[in-house]
Chain A
Amino acid sequence: MTNQSPILAVADLSVDLGGRSILRDVSFDLYPGQLCALIGENGAGKTTLLRTLLGLITQRAGTVLIGAAPAREHRELVGYVPQKINFDPDLPLRTRDLVRLGLDGQRLGLPFFNGRTRHVVDQALQAVGAEDFADQRVGELSGGQQQRAVIAHALVRKPRLLILDEPLANLDFGSANALVDLLGRLIVQQQMTVLVTAHDMNPLIPVMDRLVYLVDGRAATGTVAEVVQAEVLSKLYGYPVSVLHHGGRILVLPDAPENADVANMNRCAGHGV
């Protein structure tokens, strides 16, 4: 694996938004065929990091290389599934149309029927198990189905790197498991590389090769065993935390009050919490 070149190389990335520093010196590499989880609480900077990788936000410092070239030049290698798209229930757009836009949405002229295009769209629908609702309006689908539709939109050009923002956030337990299975299958069957964010790492642990743990814009990178340790995470959080293992699940908790950052506790008390 190490003799391959990384498909995504992020080095010393710093991003400011609205005059505030959101990401600081984030570095990690992602190799072909890996699934990398980007873990962090709400507001940690996960979405900002993904949008920077995609060239939707410009960084203050640092570099992003996709397939060894600057990110903007290699967008066709990347498929992106945003956290939430609000599809109006009345939007006259079938799942199949949304997927086709992923293939030729940038083209000029009218989208005439084309057997080859239809075949490619059908393949993408099949890959995510969306055949059943291919001819339904996107806005009428359930959250999980909409997500599959958007994944098919991202997959239809056969990208090498698939980036998903909190795909598990709004799913019930069963759908979440089905989605994790799907990601695993994409890696094996389509030789894809996957970068996925989540605020809870547990559902992804069975499939993840690496993780980037993001706290307040700073990151620790490595395998689960390397990163999810009390010592590493305490340094990242800036106060002592414990890592609890229970039934194959991992819990990261701040240490008991007497050990915790007293100033922090006082601040909470001051807000009447």
Chain B
Amino acid sequence: MFAFLSSQPVQTALIVGSCAALVSALIGVFTVLRGNAFAGHALADVSSAGGAASFLWGISPLLGFLGMAWIAAFGMEFLGVRKARERDLATGIVLGAGLGLSALFLYLDVTTTSTTGAAVSVMFGSLFAISQGLIWPAILAVLAVFLLVGLFYRPLILTAVDPDLATLRGVSPRWMGLLQLLVLGLAVAVCALAIGAVLATALLIGPAGAAIRLSRRPAQAIFWAMMIALTAVWSGIWMAYESYYWFSGNAWPVSFFVVVLIFLFYLLAMFGSSWQHKYRRRGITSLRRLQEP
């Protein structure tokens, strides 16, 4: 355990991984609440083009992921989008274009630079290989997201519940939509850095989806999503580190373990909530009354 914690790459992985877990849990809850899961997934995938470009031009991968996620977000907003169907369409079109760019940049990475493994680390992440210089930018991105969401917490929830009710309270659904895309882009960038652009969706949607089934309040959902995401990321990092010994010198990637753990948590939450429903339908409300005097 000491060897584990004192290793430099492990420390960096734990910090960046925790950043990704916290930010994705927070934004994930809002994304799932608004039924925006597909847009979140698309942004994450498209951000891979930015990650690939960052290898090519030698800029920070965090900036690469972020830049591309924002371009895609505003592309979707611009092409978009009143009805849900149109929104899916615009999202799909931006997704296709973004992945095309990603293919080009990854090809150029391989042919024009000496980078090996760019494709794997952009798409699927390599948490143990993250440079220490990215720790502070990642923390700053997370702080920015927490600040913005904390500030606009109630308007964001009200808009997610019903845009008309929000308008009547003087909240502009359009501005809230833009804000949501902005923070979604930041969250996606940190997640893509940690576990890869393709797998970022898992961290964004999985813990939030599981937590929402178990919670009765938005704050409660955010709390449980954070707990699930942190547990998955920390255990994933530990398992990947240990797997070096399990598979005689062939360590498996962190991302794999993280994603599998999230999937397990989601299954558990599903069974948990359907059990909860059954319990309620049997009409044992009097029991609950006793518990909550």
Chief secondary structure at chain A's binding surface: loop
**Interface stretch (choices B42-50, B64-72, B148-156, B244-252):** B148-156
A261 at the interface (CB under 8 A from B): no
Q: A80-B164, A101-B161 are in contact. Are A109 and B170 (CB under 8 A)?
A: no
Selected contact of A105 from candidates B171, B216, B280, CB within 8 Å: B171
B: number of interface residues (CB 8 Å): 33
Interface-located stretch among B3-11, B217-225, B258-266: B217-225
- In the bound complex, residues from chain A placing their C-beta under 8 Å from that of B179 are none
Given contacts A75-B168, A98-B161, A106-B158, contact A135 B216 (CB under 8 A): yes
Residues 183 to 236 of chain B near chain A (Cβ within 8 Å): 211-213, 215-218, 220-221
A54-B168 contact given A91-B33, A92-B212, A108-B152, CB 8 Å threshold? yes
Residues on the B chain within 8 Å of A75, using CB: 168, 170
A80-B165, A98-B161 in contact; A106/B220 too (CB < 8 A)?
no
With both beta carbons as reference points, the residue of chain A lying nearest to B154 in the complex is identified as A105
Q: Given A90-B213, A92-B216, A97-B217, A106–B164 Cβ distance below 8 Å? A: no
Known: A82-B162, A93-B218, A135-B292. A101 touches B154 (CB 8 A): yes
B218, A106: Cβ atoms closer than 8 Å: no
A:131-166 near B, CB below 8 Å:
135-137, 140, 153
B154 touches A107 (CB 8 A): yes
Task: Report whether B167 and A94 are in contact in the complex, using a CB–CB cutoff of 8 Å.
Answer: no
Nearest residue, chain A, Cβ from B222: A92
Assuming the contacts A106-B169, A107-B154, asked whether A94 and B164 have C-beta atoms less than 8 A apart, the reply is no
Most central of B29, B169, B213, B280 by chain A CB within 10 Å: B169
Instruction: Check A93/B164 contact, CB under 8 A, given A108-B151, A135-B292.
Output: no
Enumerate chain B residues within 8 angstroms of A188, measured Cβ to Cβ: none
**Nearest-CB distance from A131 to chain B (Å)?**
12
Please tell me which one of the listed residues A78, A88, A101 contacts residue B157 in the complex, with CB atoms under 8 A apart.
Answer: A101
Contact B150 A109 (CB under 8 A): yes
Which bucket holds chain A's interface residue count?
A: 20 to 34
Inter-subunit contact A80/B217 (CB<8 Å): no
Query: Chain B contacts of A105 at CB under 8 A?
Result: 154-155, 157-158, 165-166, 169, 171
Tell yes or no: A43 within 8 A of B by CB: no
**Across-interface contacts of A109 in B (CB, < 8 A):** 150-151, 153-154
Q: Which residues of A contact B292 (CB under 8 A)?
A: 135
Instruction: Give the complex CA separation of A98 and B157 in angstroms.
Output: 10
8 Å CB contacts to A: which residues of B249-293?
Answer: 273, 280, 292
Q: In the complex, what residues of A have CB within 8 A of residue B169's CB?
A: 101-102, 105-106
Chain A positions within 8 Å of B218 at CB level: 92-93, 97
Cα A97 to Cα B160 in complex, Å, equals 13
Please list the residues of chain B having a beta carbon within 8 angstroms of any beta carbon in chain A.
29, 33, 35, 150-155, 157-158, 161-162, 164-171, 211-213, 215-218, 220-221, 273, 280, 292
Q: Can you list 11 A-B contacts (CB < 8 A)? A: A51-B164, A82-B165, A90-B212, A91-B33, A92-B212, A101-B169, A105-B166, A106-B155, A109-B153, A109-B154, A135-B292
Other contacts beyond A101-B158, A106-B158, A153-B165: 15, CB < 8 A: A78-B168, A80-B165, A82-B162, A85-B165, A91-B212, A92-B216, A92-B217, A92-B218, A98-B161, A101-B154, A104-B154, A105-B157, A106-B155, A135-B216, A135-B292
Nearest 9 CB-CB pairings of A with B: A105-B158, A92-B215, A92-B221, A106-B169, A106-B170, A101-B158, A105-B169, A105-B154, A85-B162
